[in-house]
Amino acid sequence: MNKRMTWEEIKETYPDKWVGLSKVDWEDGANVRSAVVEYVGDDDHESLKRQIAGEDIYTTYTTPDNLCPLGILVGGQ
């Protein structure tokens, strides 16, 4: 972690995980082109705690672009 990776590299390295990203380079203002991975986990709790503490972290899931993690749809655990 802590090295810049493309979005494709992040998804390949950390499949089906929540990731907290910093220094995000945005493509078209909406999609991650590259970023530094600060956190990887099975849930987004650590990234959210860091955001609340004031860190500039973008939290997202590395699922394929056409899928959505079930927790998002049903409100978590």
**Better-predicted residue by pLDDT, 29 or 38:** 38
Phi, psi of 32 (to 5 degrees): -75, 125
Domain ranges of the chain: 4-74
Q: What are the b/e assignments for 3-27, b being 16+ CB within 10 Å?
A: eebebeebbeebeebbbbbbebeee
Tell me the whole-structure pTM to 2 decimals: 0.77
Q: Please, what sign has the CA dihedral across residues 58, 60, 62, 67?
A: negative
User: pLDDT digit string (tens) for 55-70?
Assistant: 999 999 997 665 555 5
